[in-house]
Amino acid sequence: MSLDKVEQRMQELRATIVRHDELYHRKAKPEIEDGDYDALKRALSDLEGEYPLFALTDSPTQRVGDDRSDGFQSYVHRERMMSVDNTYSDDEMREFHVRMVRELERDEFALVVEPKIDGLAVSVTYEGGKLVRAVTRGNGVEGDEITANARTIATLPQTLTGTAEAPLPDVIEVRGEIYLTNEEFQRINAEREEDGLDLYKNPRNLAAGTIKQLDAAVVAQRKLEIVLYGRGYTEPVDAWPETQQQFHAWVKAWGLPTVEHQWVAHSAEDVLSAIRELDAVRGGFVYATDGAVVKLDSIALQRTLGATSKAPRWAMAYKFEAERAETQLKAISIQVGRTGVLTPVAELEPVQLAGTTVSRATLHNQSELARKDIRVGDFVAVEKAGEIIPAVIAVNLEKRPPSCQPYVFSETCPVCATPAVQLEGEVAVRCPNRECPVQVRRRVQHFASRACLDIEGLGEAMVDQLVEQGWVKRLPDLYHLDRQNLLTLGKSVGKSTDKLLAAIEASKQAELWRFIHGLGITHVGTAAAKDLARVMGSLQALAEAPMEAYLRDKESVISGIGKTMAEAITGFFAEAYNREIVADLAAAGVEPEAPNAGGGGTLFAGQTFVLTGTLPTLTRNEAAEMIEAAGGKVSGSVSKKTSYVVAGSEAGSKLAKADKLGVTVIDESTLREMLDG
């Protein structure tokens, strides 16, 4: 390759990497996988080493990816916040160990191997034991101050207390990662799928996008977690333990969440053995891990080795290759969501991937489908994004059959044939027909679900029949069902029909928050619905409330309802169709029970409960309702503020966390005794 072509290739690589840095760090919407991105940086780094004449001091290989975004104030780190160099190679990990042996002039030292949690890097500062600041890594020198959003993380203590064994410095910066558990990621995506919205690709992108929301109320709805595993600035400057292992012990003693799994190694082969062990067990972790981080244990030796311009020389990340499988795309189907969004889904020749058989995979949206030029008949690479959701990653063009034609996205709804629309500023293509049978089914299923009205007998099969017969086209139609019509749905259905009609009639007096949640307003989940019910007092008041009812001088009026949610609520009721739904529900005799109308209890006032595992006789929803009826609060995560953890069989990490924090653990029978007074 001529020097001119080398220089041109390096310029192309820099431009490509900068573009992908912007997508990954600032927008949390990467277009390529981590392995492909790392390969680009490795190619540029190799060329810079071979042709130093063309190397630049501000090359993306020499700096930390910048995650700063508009809307947040910048804060300069008092101690630089670096990233970690990485490798996918056993030999390079061995070379890392050899380099430390050479530079330390000793071959006996300990290393700590920790899981590499896939999240957003953050630094939290405590002064006098009080949480005063949370800042993203940014460009390593300064980052976005996200303190208000970080305070919504239930597992991040607002205050710390030192001990004799673990004294607390006057000022301390602790570095770590904000992430989402796999369970929470799946919950959020299930809700989005129900709403017909694009699914998030992996927990990391969702966590990064969430913590950068300008509305803390939206952040609070998504149960972010945090893990802390590194040190930053301190006062006094030497107020740190002597080893990384001791650091973890101190952080834990202060009440901060830290990594649960660690291995200690004394040689390169010990390190690789620990990495293999981590790879074997990480499937059982509650969070996504994309590798291991190997750190020199001694803090003094860490200082001896120092750092490059962007990474410590005493640490190295070993990244796991994502498991991929190749299979043939047999068809592309279009799913219609509750809000009318048309989502393309790949129908695949079944293939084994990460221990499961995969026959369907998300294609995300029309633009993604077109960008990757995915065609029916292609042989495609499938990967579990974040090791959770199967997704089509790439097309094997060498195997593309000559008969493959570019996929033409449907111009009409595949269910009702209504012309599809694409609203300005949206990626999504929608069916605008409110009476599209699939949309109606999904809206009614959501409305009648346990999380909303909990109407017994109104399951998916019954909803399908009601919509198919044309008896239910809008939610209020449920309250006008004709008994004689229902009796035609099968033999001996008299008793079940009467039970269903009785359940629908009884739902007219359900709690107000259930109706609010049941309407399907974007961003309004159970917690927000309860907040709204408490303040508004009726569906009509909610439908008529102006923006000033939620925001005044840019400040939230209702706790838990911020700008994003306020805009979603007022936008929902700005549509005449939705206002008519509320009016017609009232005309049908719906009279929701306002909060405290039934004399809500105060037995558990001020107490917070967390439910985990399978209870003997109660579902989690039933237990939560009993606790809330007694004035208590139910949270999804354990913290120092938790009063009780109610544990059933197969209780997992929440039980372990309760033990660590000294939170009282009770069973169902004890809960019932407490409720009985």
| Band (597; pLDDT cuts 50, 70, 90) | very low
Q: 508-523, pLDDT tens digit by residue?
A: 999 999 999 999 998 8
Q: How far apart are CA 81 and CA 121, in angstroms?
A: 9
Catalytic residue chosen out of the listed positions 5, 29, 116, 657:
116
**Residue 118 and residue 217 in contact, taking contact as beta carbons nearer than 8 Å:** no
Q: 231-256, pLDDT tens digit by residue?
A: 999 999 888 889 999 999 999 999 99
Between 656 and 350, the higher pLDDT residue: 350
Residue 419, classed as helix, strand or coil, is strand
Answer yes or no: is pLDDT of 217 > 80.
no
Q: How far apart are CA 230 and CA 77, in angstroms?
A: 14
The structure tokens listed for 372 are 């990757």
Report pLDDT for 623: 87
| Band (202; pLDDT cuts 50, 70, 90) | confident
**H helix runs in 328-452, sequence order:** 366-372, 437-448
Between 184 and 200, the higher pLDDT residue: 184
CB-count burial class (<10 Å; 0-12, 13-18, 19+) for 548: exposed
Q: Considering the chain, what is the average pLDDT of its residues?
A: 88
Helix (H) or strand (E) holding 386: none
Report pLDDT for 598: 43
Helix 460-468 and helix 437-448, axial crossing angle in degrees, nearest 10: 140
Strand 130-136 and strand 120-127: the pairing is antiparallel
Mean pLDDT of 133-138: 94
Q: Which one-letter amino acid corresponds to residue 331? A: A
Q: 425-477, pLDDT tens digit by residue?
A: 777 898 999 999 999 999 999 999 988 999 999 999 999 999 999 999 999 99
Residue 463 neighbours by CB under 8 Å, 6+ apart:
441, 444, 445, 448, 472
The structure tokens listed for 619 are 């579902």
Answer yes or no: is pLDDT of 651 > 50.
yes
User: What is the full DSSP assignment across 587-621?
Assistant: HTT--PBPTTTT----TTTT-EEEEESB-SS--HH
Mean pLDDT of 223-232: 93
Q: How far apart are CA 364 and CA 362, in angstroms?
A: 5
473 annotated active-site = no
Q: How far apart are CA 304 and CA 309, in angstroms?
A: 16
**Residue 416 and residue 437 in contact, taking contact as beta carbons nearer than 8 Å:** yes
Q: 344-363, pLDDT tens digit by residue?
A: 999 999 998 866 789 998 88
Residue 161 DSSP symbol: -
**Residue 68 and residue 138 in contact, taking contact as beta carbons nearer than 8 Å:** yes
| Band (194; pLDDT cuts 50, 70, 90) | low
The structure tokens listed for 504 are 């629908």
608-675 folds as: Rossmann fold (3.40.50)
User: What is the full DSSP assignment across 326-351?
Assistant: EEEEEEEEEEE-TT-BEEEEEEEEEE
Mean pLDDT of 139-153: 91
| Band (387; pLDDT cuts 50, 70, 90) | low
**Which residue, 667, 669, 658, is CA-closest to 635?**
658
| Band (601; pLDDT cuts 50, 70, 90) | low
Pick the CATH number of 74-319 from 1.10.287.130, 3.30.470.30, 3.30.70.580, 3.30.160.60: 3.30.470.30
Measured in residues, the chain has a length of 677
The domain limits of the chain are: 3-61, 74-319, 324-399, 437-509, 512-587, 608-675
Q: Does domain 324-399 have CATH number 2.40.50.140?
A: yes
Residue 478, classed as helix, strand or coil, is helix
Report pLDDT for 641: 81
Report pLDDT for 346: 94
| Band (388; pLDDT cuts 50, 70, 90) | low
Between 212 and 229, the higher pLDDT residue: 229
Answer yes or no: is pLDDT of 190 > 80.
no
CATH superfamily of 437-509: 5' to 3' exonuclease, C-terminal subdomain (1.10.150.20)
Q: 13-44, pLDDT tens digit by residue?
A: 988 888 888 887 776 677 777 777 888 888 88
3-61 folds as: Helix Hairpins (1.10.287)
**Which residue, 448, 424, 420, is CA-closest to 436?**
420
**Residue 503 and residue 458 in contact, taking contact as beta carbons nearer than 8 Å:** yes
Report pLDDT for 599: 46
Q: Which one-letter amino acid corresponds to residue 636? A: G
Report pLDDT for 385: 60
Lowest-confidence pick of 29-43, 314-328, 469-483, 614-628: 29-43
User: pTM of the full predicted structure?
Assistant: 0.65
Report pLDDT for 262: 93
First to last CA, the chain: 83
**CATH top class, domain 512-587:** mainly alpha
- Is it true that 512-587 and 608-675 share their CATH fold? no
Report pLDDT for 654: 78
Sign of CA dihedral 483, 488, 489, 492: positive
**Residue 61 and residue 83 in contact, taking contact as beta carbons nearer than 8 Å:** no
**Residue 18 and residue 38 in contact, taking contact as beta carbons nearer than 8 Å:** no
Q: 39-61, pLDDT tens digit by residue?
A: 888 888 888 888 888 888 878 88
